[in-house]
Amino acid sequence: MCKVATTDDGDSDGIPPPNGVSSKRLSFSDILTDDQDIARRQLLDLTPPLTSLCITEYAFSLQLALHYLYKEGKLVTLSLSN
């Protein structure tokens, strides 16, 4: 897992993944909070900024769910849109 760059936390470049981890095995985990700082949603995909040290597009939770479904013989195709 790595941290995608953001502009609102003072860590604008993000945190890179550990050395030696294939880009196919990268993921992120991030949540969105509401006005009361309560986590109500989790991101499943995103397009990282060009300056980000973490370049993965898919959340760990999404990849885990897709892997489980694949092992259960269920083929899932993603249709991600804005």
The CB density around residue 4, as the number of other CB atoms within 10 Å, is 21
Contact 22, 60 (CB under 8 A): no
Strand partners, 15: 3
DSSP 7: S
So what's the pLDDT on residue 12?
A: 66
Residue with tokens 């195709």: 77
**Domain limits of the chain?**
1-82
DSSP 24: G
> What is each CA distance from 69 to 11, 28, 81, in whole angstroms?
35, 19, 21
Q: Show the low-confidence residues of the chain (pLDDT under 70).
A: 7-12, 80-82
pTM reported for the whole predicted model: 0.72
So what's the pLDDT on residue 7?
A: 63
